[in-house]
Amino acid sequence: MKSVVVFSGGLDSTVLLAKLIAEGRTCLALTVDYGQRHRREIESAKAICAALGGITHRVADLGALAPLWGRNSLTDATVDVAEGHYTEERMRSSVVPGRNLLLLATAAAWAFAERCDSLAYGAHGGDHAIYPDCREAFADATARAIALADWHTLALERPFVMLDKTAIVRMGAALRAPMHLSWSCYKGGAEHCGRCGTCIERREAFANAGVEDPTRYAPDAPDAGTLAKNGWKP
């Protein structure tokens, strides 16, 4: 079985890639450069593919589309990245409208050309209501559009749709996935800031999974024990 995996270099897609490889799949990993501020994740993606070995990895450059997008904290350096636990208000600024549709359409084009059986991505049960394109109904409609976009049948797989991030970390630990190489922080510094929404989620997932967090956080990041005591509010 041959699959294109939408691979950001983040925690979820790293575990997804490790899982599919462990199942004996031929995986083609696609990282999309959409002008994101946290470009560090692209370097992480390369390192993870090298660590997993034998994976064809491509970085698709969609940076030329950035002018089409509105102001948001992921692609526009003049918008602040929200700190603290995800809340609708805090994270609204990180929505890139229509991003997932574009990521999936790009991955589908490659998967069609490579005659893959499936296209897999790491949408999971923990994804937030603030991201409309993480909804199950969106994925169902997109799966149907992809299935009809070519004569060659291509399935859209979401193996983590019933899992939360804690379960994904547990799976990653069991698979010995190179989670230490993955990148989550939206701030895109040299180290994880340890206090933005994605960093807090990452830290919480490792803590709840009972798996040692291999991430190196910035020296001024709040301590995990303190965060846990405060209900993961920095």
Binding footprint of its own copies on the chain (CB under 8 A): 30, 58, 60-65, 67-70, 95-102, 104-106, 108-114, 132-133, 135, 137-138, 141-142, 144-152
- Dist CA 183 CA 161 (whole Å): 21
Smallest gap, in angstroms, from Cβ of residue 209 to its own copies? 31
Which residues are bridge partners to 2 per DSSP?
26
Contacts of 207 (CB under 8 A, 6+ apart): 213, 224, 228
What is the nearest approach in angstroms of its own copies to the Cβ of residue 38? 19
> Per the structure block, which two tokens stand in for 64?
């030329």
Written as one letter, the residue type at 209 is A
By beta-carbon proximity to its own copies, the closer residue of 61 and 212 is 61
Which residue number, 111 or 163, has a Cβ lying nearer to its own copies? Answer: 111
Cβ neighbours of residue 197 closer than 8 Å, sequence gap 6 or more: 82, 83, 84, 85, 86, 90, 91, 94, 186
Beta bridge partners, 157, equal 120
Nearer to its own copies, 116 or 205 (CB): 116
Closer residue to its own copies (CB): 135 or 180? 135
Least distance between its own copies and beta carbon 182 (Å): 24
* Distance of closest approach, residue 33 Cβ to its own copies, in angstroms: 9
What's the N-to-C CA distance of the chain in angstroms? 44
C-alpha 188/C-alpha 37 separation (Å) is 6
Identity of the residue, 80 or 88, whose beta carbon is nearer to its own copies in the bound complex: 88
Q: How far is the CB of 79 from its own copies (least distance, A)?
A: 13
